[in-house]
Chains A and B, each alone.
Chain A
């Protein structure tokens, strides 16, 4: 079949429908390095604009750190640009093993295996370790990559209501006849910024003979006293069987992910996880940079401490200004507006005022839960946050949202 006019029209119609539904994603062009302040060209051809960035996953501010860039350059010079191979043919360098050892120590596990991304880790891990006689039981708000990974696995699939431990227990009881059970959760849920109740989950797993898998992508490097992740925060270090996480957020923000956990489970991934087996190795410069990132993270807690201080400060500023803020302790701070159009308008106005944020609405979040998600970084200084709150207040006043409850906000925009 050729790409006929009929086919072309079909895709045009679908894209048009997305645009009309307000669901078309548009990329904004960043014309600077990633950081607390960035230069943006949006829309295409518009003059470049300096804005405070409140929507990146650059939690520790390491994306453009000079030591990280230098390490990447050294990696490039000493080990080349690419491997032109998957890991098990001729794509494993000493650096890959070094990084896997360092990740294992940092995460407090038994072994680790690098993947091209955490999306790939999640796509491959379940099929590698669970079979048709087993069951996967996931929190209903896990990341989309986990859903994809579950669908690729032959095991029976089940879910429990978000963070509802009674419902999880019910499911664990129901599935006692299965050969093995694997509970799957995000460590930090990326839309609300809430943390999984890992202490309770591990306790239930022990009681009902289940394993636990945590995607800690929005936690590794800064959640927990020394930044090891949600398992450290919840006091269950060494008791989580599988952790998947990313190098693409706090740990430098380039790309790459890993599966870390029980030695045998990781080895099963090495033997059977298809995204590992059939994707090229993580490039040497990224591995070298990630090694430097881990060195920086383990040298002290200043960055994660600063992130915590920034988060508390920003939450306080928003609350005092009269915004409806989702409670929590992670650097993901959602400003609730409930209405999709309002979230879009405010995000646009904030951009005009020099603050880069994104409005999220259905289908990314449930209907009636539209919000602007703000994300803090250790790269933010007080003046960034003070400037940002000024813009938020100005735009909040313009749209008369300050001090309003959910009901009042919904009444404000009408049906």
Chain B
């Protein structure tokens, strides 16, 4: 799908959104675009194909929490930020190197 146009919304002078605020703003705007243009994009065709293969589909908005340390990285998804971070914590604790020996 090609996007026909984009809208730029200038932020107030002096506004210094944090990275997480920028992420939230972008996610919010993308969600608004998706909801207000439900037929845009290729998702319906993809969904139909999956349903034809017997999948029951559900698509929800949520949070993605990420952790990076050198080469290590973890990513968790949650319905709330709490849930995403809780899952992220579990994933990082799951693979602490201590004790993983042959």
Of A138, A151, A365, the residue contacting B98 (CB under 8 A) is: A365
> Does B93 lie at the interface of the complex (its beta carbon under 8 Å from any beta carbon of A)?
yes
Contact check: which of A157, A192, A364, A373 meets B91 at CB < 8 Å?
Answer: A157
- The proximity string for A residues 169-210 relative to B, scoring 1 for CB distances below 8 Å and 0 otherwise, is 000000000000000000001111000000000000000000
Distance to closest chain A CB from B62 (angstroms): 15
Q: Are B93 and A159 in contact (CB under 8 A)?
A: yes
Residue A363 interfacial (CB < 8 Å): yes
Measured CA separation A143–B95 after assembly (Å): 9
Q: Chain A: interface residue count, which band?
A: 20 to 34
| Nearest CB in chain A: distance from B57 CB, A | 15
Nearest B residue to A160 via CB reads B93
B60, CB-defined interface residue at 8 Å: no
B100 within 8 A of A: yes
Question: What's the least CB distance linking B77 to chain A, in Å?
Answer: 12
Q: Which residues of A contact B (CB under 8 A)?
A: 138, 140-144, 147, 150-151, 157-159, 162, 189-192, 360, 362-366, 369, 373
Shortest distance between the CB of B83 and any CB in chain A (Å)? 11
Verify if B96 is at the interface (C-beta below 8 Å from A): yes
- What residue of chain B has the Cβ atom nearest to residue A248's Cβ? B102
Q: List the interface of chain B (C-beta within 8 A of A).
A: 90-91, 93-102
A30 to chain B, nearest CB (A): 15
Q: Provide the bound-state CA to CA distance between A27 and B99, in Å.
A: 21
- Output the least CB separation between A144 and chain B (Å): 4
Contact B96 A158 (CB under 8 A): no
Contact B94 A157 (CB under 8 A): yes
Q: From residue A170, how far is it (CB to closest CB) to chain B in Å?
A: 14
Contact of B94 among A138, A143, A192, A360 (CB under 8 A): A138
Please determine whether A189 and B93 come into contact, CB atoms closer than 8 angstroms: no
Contacts of A363 in B (CB 8 A): 97-98
B90, B98, B99, most chain A CB atoms within 10 A: B99
Q: Would B97 and A147 count as touching, CB distance under 8 A?
A: no
Q: How far is it, in angstroms, between the C-alpha of A303 and the C-alpha of B97 when the chains are bound?
A: 33
List residues of chain B with CB within 8 A of the CB of A360: 101
In the complex, which residue of chain B has the Cβ closest to the Cβ of A139? B99
User: Which residues does chain B contribute within 8 Å of A362, judged by CB atoms?
Assistant: 97
How far in angstroms is the closest Cβ of chain A from B84? 13
Q: Is the CB of B95 within 8 A of A147?
A: yes
Q: Which of B91, B95, B102 has the most CB of A within 10 A?
A: B102
With known contacts A157-B91, A159-B90, A143–B98 Cβ distance under 8 A = no
Q: How far does the alpha carbon of A141 sit from the alpha carbon of B95 in the complex, in Å? A: 9
Tell me if B97 and A151 are in contact (CB < 8 A).
no
- Would you call A191 and B98 a contact (CB within 8 A)? yes
Q: B71 to nearest A CB, angstroms?
A: 8
